[in-house]
Structure 1
Amino acid sequence: MLRRLAALSVAGVLAAGSLVAGPAAPAVAASAPCLPDGTGPVCQVWTGKVTYVNDGDTMSVDLAGDGTSTPRSIRFINVQAMEQTVYSSVVARRRGECHSLAATARVEQLVKAGQGVVRLTAQNASSSSKNRPLRSVAVKIDGVWRDLGLDLLSHGLTLWQPFGGEWAWNAQYRAAQAAAARKGLNLFDTDSCGTGPAQSAPLGVLVNYDPPGPDQDNLNGEWVRISNAGDKPVSLAKWWVRDSALRRYTFPSGTLLPAGGAVVVHAGSGTDTATDKHWRQTAPVFDNPTFDEEARGDGAYLFDPQGDLRAWTQYPSVPPLSAGA
């Protein structure tokens, strides 16, 4: 198996949550266990005051002891919220994909309960995404530090997105998403955005994340299979499938998921047919899992046109990981 670590380009950071060298971290960072409960590997630790909650996975923080009152944009480690498109301190003016505003509101609620003070941790001070430091963020509520990423995943408000090099949270986060999926919370409630097309269709998602040979050399061997166990075909026009990062493939008009059949989306390039589509990516999409302390993995997620998550699979297994309508 090729263990695929983070891409080294800015494009890779945007697409896959990879790590790049960012601005130097403040010299005031201390060392402590990564996790709020005092467990995990050693991390660097900072504190600060939240000045603005940007969205469900980003906030602006005035870092303590950095010699400036200019806030830094902090990207949460290992979670991916749905995309918000209009940002505002006025809630009614915000816009975004289904579930994006709920994630923002949850972060604001927890930050307010913690009086705006946050604890930031990272295994590598230079970890960043789009020039934003990657940090695990915790707020102290009733004397206990609460991990915002873990809370969001536990409520089904974000997707688990492992970042290479920042693995201390993966085991907890992976289990939290699986539990939220089992309970059908928020993202994992298949009609929470409203009744969608073919709402009762029994759909499924299967991903082949590790094709034969080096992943980079066999992109079309990496694929997502969308299945329909029902007795009626389903139009997939404008539906989309994604990994845990921002990469998505949108099905073109005319795509029909046959009754009792499947449509396969290959990661690489090729000639599309009725049942085989091509994502046309130039690098592998799905991270290979690790079965060690890093607890890496990924998932494949099928959304309908209005933004409901209709079927998914998360790996490696923390049952139940595959589900649908």
Structure 2
Amino acid sequence: MVRPRLVALACCLLLVLAGCVVGPAGSDATVGGGDTATAPPGSGGTPATAAPPADGIRVTVVEIVDGDTFRFEYENGTTDTARLLGVDTPEIYGENSPDEFEGVPDTEAGRACLREYADRASAYAKNRLLGEEVTIAFDANEPRRGYYDRLLVYVHHDGGSFNYALIDRGLARVYDSSFERGDRFYAAEERAMAADRGLWTCRDGTPGPAGDDETTATASATATPAGDGVVVSRIHADAEGEDGENLNDEYVVLTNRGDEPVDLSGWTLSDEAGFTYEFPDGVTLPADASLTLHVGSGEDTETDLYWGRERPTLNNDGETVTLRDEDGNLVAERST
């Protein structure tokens, strides 16, 4: 007769073994392939510009294959390849199909333009990610691995979503699938197309000017009536001297060109990488007055606010900032 204690022990062992899935040693989450794998809790459905989920996996980017594919290393030295979820940058190593990018003509000029943006997307990925420690996260609606056995991931770096930044800067199109962040990505794509940012200039068959790879060179005025005349009047991205030693010389200036003061409580200002500042309660911008938001730290005054960032944030090579009211409505957008 089998003793009850032995039966209980055997059952416990079976349950433990049934729940085990082997992943890279030293990693803090399972990353095995298979369509039935589920994303870590909290990863799916998070805002495109939100902080990474607490249970995301920290890895180091060791190689950029192209704008949407990279190789990375776990803490124990194991390496793997990842493909960014929800985005598709033009191809570097193969032929591009202009019909995949809405409005881009199927001509040699259209294909040449997309090749140019393939290089620009890859360069952007190298500038932002290569050698950096990032957090990767998964999507509950997508398998862990794609057709080429690459992990399908969101990449969060320094508080922003890299996937979202590619779309917002016009360096990629939305890759149509069932991923949970689709609504936000499509909204960003529509804004990039409307502004002729990045590869969407290829609809005219000609790349945008060098140096303005990810942004348009013009600034928009108030985009909706919600701002009552508030515009982004200046972006000062290149601080004097070393950017990291002079964070408060990176700043954005807002100006109220209206006739009435505007309450900025709960408004947000975001850069293209998704870093977002929320204006504190009680901040008011008087009529015909300006307010400067500095990237670094300091004591807020009526004319100067401080983001509290600990590293350079605004991109010296081209930046777009977006101002939204407390309800999320677009108020103004400016690019350099």
* Structure 1 length-normalised TM: 0.49
| Richer in strand (by share) | 1
| Richer in helix (by share) | 2
| Higher radius of gyration, 1 or 2 | 2
